[in-house]
């Protein structure tokens, strides 16, 4: 259930890759906390940390997208809002229920979304940036 960093996550942008590694590290700590049944308080704290880290990362991405006039910024921003909503929902559910089975099932889906976002949605805007820079360098 843990997610190990591999080259398919590497987008070639230092700050973004650093953020992604940090988010995966926090996610893996959450998986460990749920697997060890450490309790809803610790899991909730880790989800809060992941939410904060993710917000900072998404802001960084959105600034880059605006700077480069990325045409799909609104759709990407919507994905960000949905992901933050998922994290906030998870935090509420831990506070109210805290059951390990809730934790593990929900984390699996969250992990898939995180991987998908990095490999697909983020790859799209990074590819756009690279193409734009390449076109500008030819002028």
Contacts of 26 (CB under 8 A, 6+ apart): 46, 49, 50, 53
Question: What's the CA gap between 103 and 36, in Å, rounded?
Answer: 11
Mean pLDDT, the chain, rounded, equals 88
- The pLDDT of residue 1 is 80
Which band of pLDDT confidence, cut at 50, 70 and 90, is reported for residue 119? very high
In CATH, which superfamily holds the domain spanning 13-138? Hemerythrin-like (1.20.120.50)
50 vs 10, 15, 23, 132, CA distance in Å? 20, 17, 6, 32
In the chain, what are the domain boundaries?
13-138
Positive or negative CA dihedral for 129, 135, 137, 139? negative
* Cβ-based burial of 106 (10 A; exposed 0-12, middle 13-18, buried ≥19): middle
pLDDT tens by residue, 4-23: 999 989 999 999 999 999 99
């Amino acid at each position: 259930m843990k997610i190990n960093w591999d080259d398919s996550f590497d987008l070639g942008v230092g700050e973004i890759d650093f953020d992604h590694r940090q988010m995966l590290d926090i996610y893996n700590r959450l998986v460990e906390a749920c697997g060890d049944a450490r309790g809803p308080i610790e899991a909730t704290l880790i989800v809060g940390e992941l939410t904060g880290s993710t917000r900072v990362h998404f802001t960084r991405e959105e600034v880059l997208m605006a700077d480069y006039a990325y045409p799909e910024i609104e759709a990407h921003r919507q994905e960000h809002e949905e992901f933050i909503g998922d994290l906030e929902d998870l935090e509420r559910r831990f506070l109210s229920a805290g059951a390990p089975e809730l934790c593990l099932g929900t984390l699996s889906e969250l992990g898939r979304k995180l991987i998908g976002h990095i490999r697909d949605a983020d790859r799209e805007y990074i590819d756009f940036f690279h193409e734009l820079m390449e076109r500008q360098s030819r002028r």
